[in-house]
């Protein structure tokens, strides 16, 4: 009997170890951290820049002649603000509208008490913006002449209706009596900024240009001065250029569009985070003024000067007073996401913290931790954790993916979990959807927005719309408490009964609305969820 007991115990232990091993193998999560800190330069980028420099520095001993009419159109990266200098005569402005200039450096910095401080702070913010908006797909890469054509494979960009020199063009080949290349575009024209002796150029100012020469070195020198001018205005598109020689052809794209204008927030230069200058707390309230008061009181205990923006769609608004509070009255019952849009639209700080009106701040609600990870990583939004009165703490992390499904639409897949831990922040992970307590970059949250048709029940819809636009994280060490929802049915007030009627109504129309949004607006044919 003892032997049988020992065998059973041994089998149980082995089975348990096998189950743990299988769980570890199948688990989609990992404890290894992934570095998502803001960075711009990399060894590969430096290597590419060196190779590009080598490719364009050849044939420097071949003479050329600058063509001022073309070269003058190239960007100089030294913009100046100059007004028109004209005589002021009667009706001059009507006949010849003047260009005026306003020097912002002088106008703003002259009256500022700390011009050097604000200049330094702006440079710091812009550097952070550049690191966050850096995309490796924009780095210039030149394919060396294996075909024998040499051309840029990515990273060439021109401003709308402007002119650039196309970098990296070249031809390698065996000795022959003559060499010839073609360039063809659809949204712009070609020219040369300088002429090289011994090179024939046909089609300048047109969408198709031919260059030929008996000397390969001269032709390659001429190719270093080929320009592209965008002629068809579009704020964001690309031209596919054909670059060809006898028996070979290649294609590369030139991105066309306006540059992205940075959206920087002047929160003041400081060595430590000034939460009042960096963060605005936003919420929406409906039939729960008692809960709203508790929320405000708890915020003021820890953050007495942080601005609170409230969207209120009550039928009979009650007074909500106090310093640093902004309340905006909406039409009665306008709804959940409409209120979010209104509240976020009034935020003027770099970050916005979203909270429900029945949350309560505690000593663990450290907004500084959220700001720290947003400042030091490429994340656009970070969620926290919500602690219920039962003691259970939830982070509500999900991954979202879309699988292509053909003509009938795509498939939406929502799963519990996250992608990976964030290096340097062991309590934080990267996910696609987080709990209803999050801090985000104000401009990025506005960019996605909230569908105002979703009036009563909605949450994941925002994160589905944000897929591909927002880089999202979740930190379990920033915790807000949730007011108790345990209320005996016979003790409910009229406001609580009215709130439940609006909040938890399961009407057919509400279900059809969600189906319509997923089916038509998002073009899904099915969704799976865990």
Residue-level pLDDT at 516: 86
- How far is 373 from 273, CA to CA, in rounded Å? 12
DSSP tag of 433:
B
**Residue 268: pLDDT band with limits 50, 70, 90:** confident
- How far is 202 from 222, CA to CA, in rounded Å? 13
Residue-level pLDDT at 309: 98
In order, the DSSP letters of 204-258 are TTBSEEEEEES-HHHHHHHHTTEEEEE-S--SEEEEEEEEEETTEEEEEEEEEEP
User: Which residues sit opposite 244 in a β-bridge?
Assistant: 182, 249
Residue-level pLDDT at 161: 94
| Helix, strand or coil, per DSSP, at residue 475 | strand
Q: Are 231 and 191 in contact (CB under 8 A)?
A: no
Q: Which of 269-278, 291-300, 481-490 has the lowest mean pLDDT?
A: 481-490
| 204-233 pLDDT tens trace | 999 999 999 999 999 999 999 999 999 998
Q: What is the mean pLDDT of residues 286-311?
A: 95
Residue-level pLDDT at 21: 46
Q: What is the mean pLDDT of residues 176-181?
A: 94
Residue-level pLDDT at 106: 72
Q: How far is CA 76 from CA 73, 99, 162, 404, in A?
A: 9, 20, 12, 45
Give the 3-state secondary structure of 363-425.
CCCCHHHHHHHHHHECCCEEEEEEECCCCCEECCCEEEEEECCHHHCEEEEEEECCCEEECCE
Strands 420-422 and 425-431: antiparallel
Residue-level pLDDT at 87: 55
* Nearest residue to 280 (alpha-carbon basis) of 371, 394, 157, 184: 371
508: left (phi over 0), alpha (psi -120 to 50) or beta: alpha
Output the CA torsion sign for 21, 25, 27, 29.
positive
**Residue 193: pLDDT band with limits 50, 70, 90:** very high
CATH class of 275-529: alpha beta
21 C-beta neighbours (distance < 10 Å), count: 10
Q: What is the mean pLDDT of residues 36-42?
A: 62
Between 500 and 350, the more confident residue is 350
Q: Which of 59-68, 85-94, 187-196, 255-264 has the lowest mean pLDDT?
A: 85-94
Between 506 and 70, the more confident residue is 70
| Helix, strand or coil, per DSSP, at residue 289 | helix
Structure-token pair, residue 37: 């800190």
Structure-token pair, residue 509: 């129309």
- How far is 121 from 360, CA to CA, in rounded Å? 34
Residue-level pLDDT at 122: 81
CATH number of 43-72+137-257: 2.60.40
| 338-355 pLDDT tens trace | 999 999 999 999 999 999
What are the structural domain ranges in the chain?
A: 43-72+137-257, 275-529
Q: Which of 9-23, 51-65, 471-485 has the lowest mean pLDDT?
A: 9-23
In order, the DSSP letters of 307-368 are -EEEEE--SSPPP---TTEEEEE-STT--HHHHHHHHHHT--SSEEEE--TTEE--TT--HH
Q: What is the mean pLDDT of residues 246-266?
A: 90
**Average pLDDT along the chain:** 84
Residue 42 has pLDDT above 80, yes or no: no
Between 504 and 29, the more confident residue is 504
523: left (phi over 0), alpha (psi -120 to 50) or beta: left
Q: Are 70 and 163 in contact (CB under 8 A)?
A: yes
- How far is 280 from 458, CA to CA, in rounded Å? 22
- How far is 522 from 381, CA to CA, in rounded Å? 22
* Nearest residue to 417 (alpha-carbon basis) of 24, 27, 19: 27
Residue 29 has pLDDT above 50, yes or no: no
Q: Are 122 and 104 in contact (CB under 8 A)?
A: no
Output the CA torsion sign for 405, 410, 416, 417.
positive
Q: Which of 192-196, 260-264, 427-431, 498-502 has the lowest mean pLDDT?
A: 498-502
Percentage of residues in the chain with pLDDT exceeding 90? 51
Structure-token pair, residue 432: 């696609």
Q: What is the mean pLDDT of residues 329-334?
A: 93
Q: Which of 29-43, 356-370, 455-469 has the lowest mean pLDDT?
A: 29-43
- How far is 485 from 473, CA to CA, in rounded Å? 27
Residue 49 has pLDDT above 80, yes or no: no
Strands 381-387 and 438-441: antiparallel
Residue 378 has pLDDT above 70, yes or no: yes
Q: Which of 47-61, 114-128, 151-165 has the lowest mean pLDDT?
A: 47-61
Q: Which residues in 432-496 belong to E strands, given as ranges?
A: 438-441, 472-482
Residue-level pLDDT at 22: 44
**Looking up tokens 């592209």, which residue turns up?**
228
Residue 292 has pLDDT above 90, yes or no: yes
Output the CA torsion sign for 73, 76, 77, 82.
negative
End-to-end CA distance of the chain: 45
Residue 25 has pLDDT above 50, yes or no: no
- Long-range (24+ apart) CB contacts under 8 A made by 128-136 are 128/38, 128/375, 129/262, 129/263, 129/264, 130/40, 131/38, 131/39, 131/40, 131/378, 132/38, 132/378, 133/260, 134/39, 134/40, 136/45
Structure-token pair, residue 143: 């394919």
**Residue 28: pLDDT band with limits 50, 70, 90:** very low
Q: How far, in whole angstroms, is CA 216 from its chain's centroid?
A: 45
Helix (H) or strand (E) holding 26: helix 2-26
Q: How many helices (H) and strands (E) does the chain have?
A: 15, 29
Helix (H) or strand (E) holding 430: strand 425-431
* Nearest residue to 453 (alpha-carbon basis) of 500, 516, 498: 516
Residue-level pLDDT at 496: 63
Residue 199 has pLDDT above 80, yes or no: yes
């Amino acid at each position: 009997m003892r032997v049988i007991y020992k065998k059973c115990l041994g089998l149980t232990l082995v089975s348990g170890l096998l189950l743990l091993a299988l769980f570890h193998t199948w688990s989609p999560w990992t404890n290894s951290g992934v570095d998502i800190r803001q960075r711009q330069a990399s060894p590969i980028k430096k290597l590419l820049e060196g190779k590009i420099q080598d490719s364009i520095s050849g044939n420097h001993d071949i003479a050329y002649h600058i063509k001022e009419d073309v070269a003058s159109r190239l960007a100089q990266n030294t913009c100046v603000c100059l007004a028109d200098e004209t005589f002021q005569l009667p009706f001059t402005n009507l006949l010849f509208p003047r260009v005026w200039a306003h020097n912002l450096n002088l106008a703003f910095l002259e009256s500022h008490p700390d011009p050097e401080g604000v200049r330094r702070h702006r440079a710091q913010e812009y550097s952070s913006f550049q690191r966050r908006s850096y995309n490796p797909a924009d780095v210039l890469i030149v394919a060396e002449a294996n075909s024998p054509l040499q051309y840029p494979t990515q990273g060439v960009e021109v401003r709308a209706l402007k002119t650039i020199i196309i970098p990296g063009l070249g031809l390698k080949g065996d000795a022959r009596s003559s060499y010839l290349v073609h360039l063809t575009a659809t949204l712009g024209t070609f020219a040369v900024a300088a002429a090289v002796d011994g090179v024939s150029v046909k089609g300048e100012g047109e969408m198709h240009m031919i260059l030929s020469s008996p000397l390969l070195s001269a032709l390659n020198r001429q190719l270093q001065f080929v320009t592209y001018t965008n002629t068809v205005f579009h704020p964001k598109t690309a031209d596919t250029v054909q670059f060809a020689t006898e028996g070979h052809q290649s294609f590369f794209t030139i991105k066309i569009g306006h540059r992205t204008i940075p959206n920087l927030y002047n929160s003041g230069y400081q060595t430590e985070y000034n939460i009042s200058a960096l963060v605005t707390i936003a919420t929406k309230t409906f039939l729960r003024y008692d809960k709203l008061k508790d929320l405000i009181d708890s915020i003021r205990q820890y953050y007495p000067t942080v601005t609170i923006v409230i969207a209120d769609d009550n039928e009979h608004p009650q007074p909500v007073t106090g310093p640093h509070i902004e309340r905006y009255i909406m039409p009665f019952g306008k709804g959940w996401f409409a209120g979010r849009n209104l509240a976020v639209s009034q935020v003027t700080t770099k970050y916005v913290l979203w909270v429900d009106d029945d949350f309560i701040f505690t000593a663990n609600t450290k907004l500084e931790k959220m700001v720290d990870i947003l400042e030091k990583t490429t994340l656009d939004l970070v969620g926290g954790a919500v602690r219920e009165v039962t003691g259970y703490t939830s982070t509500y992390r999900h991954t979202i993916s879309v699988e292509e499904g053909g003509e009938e639409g795509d498939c939406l897949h929502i799963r519990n979990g996250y992608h990976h831990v964030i290096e340097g922040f062991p309590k934080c992970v990267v996910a696609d959807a987080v709990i209803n307590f999050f801090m985000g970059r104000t401009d990025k949250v506005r960019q996605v927005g909230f569908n105002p048709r979703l009036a009563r029940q909605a949450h994941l819809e925002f994160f589905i719309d944000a897929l591909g636009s927002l880089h999202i994280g979740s930190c379990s060490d920033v915790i807000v408490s949730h007011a108790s929802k345990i209320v005996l049915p016979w003790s409910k007030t009229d406001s609580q009964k009215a709130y439940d009627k609006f909040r938890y109504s399961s009407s057919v129309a509400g279900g059809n609305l969600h189906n319509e949004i997923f089916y038509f607006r998002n073009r899904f044919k099915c969704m799976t969820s865990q």
